């Protein structure tokens, strides 16, 4: 089976369900769309959790999460701010419940 075809099918299904940078429905799909590996996806989860443990809610900034992404994958330096916000929202929705309150402030 061709991987590109599978990815295209997943993207089309997700788009029909409302997936976008402003409303990411899957952290895994977002990683696939941006060339992030399975191992990097796990490292992002750890890094985002560390940020939440290190900072108080009112101290959280998108730049904290951008820096974490950039340390894990160099391609993140090219991400526009809405893409970084999409990662925060996707991880809040799918992986890190403690991130939900901050993600809600980003709408």
Q: pLDDT 10s per residue in the chain (107 long)?
A: 688 898 899 999 999 999 998 999 999 999 999 999 999 999 999 999 999 999 999 999 999 999 999 999 999 999 999 999 999 999 999 999 999 999 999 98
Counted domains in the chain: 1
DSSP structural state of residue 27: H
Please identify which residue in the block is written with the tokens 């490292």. 43
* Sign (positive or negative) of CA dihedral 49, 50, 54, 59: negative
Show the domain range for 99: 3-104
């Amino acid at each position: 089976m061709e991987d590109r075809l599978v990815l295209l099918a997943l993207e089309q299904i997700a788009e029909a369900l409302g997936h976008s940078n402003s409303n990411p429905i899957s952290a895994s799909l977002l990683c696939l769309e941006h060339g992030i590996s399975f191992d990097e996806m796990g490292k992002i989860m750890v890094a985002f959790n560390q940020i939440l443990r290190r900072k108080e809610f009112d101290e959280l900034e998108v730049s904290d999460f951008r820096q974490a992404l950039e340390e894990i994958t160099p391609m993140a330096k090219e991400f526009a701010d809405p893409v970084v916000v999409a990662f925060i929202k996707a991880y809040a929705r799918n992986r890190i419940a403690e991130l939900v309150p901050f993600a809600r402030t980003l709408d």
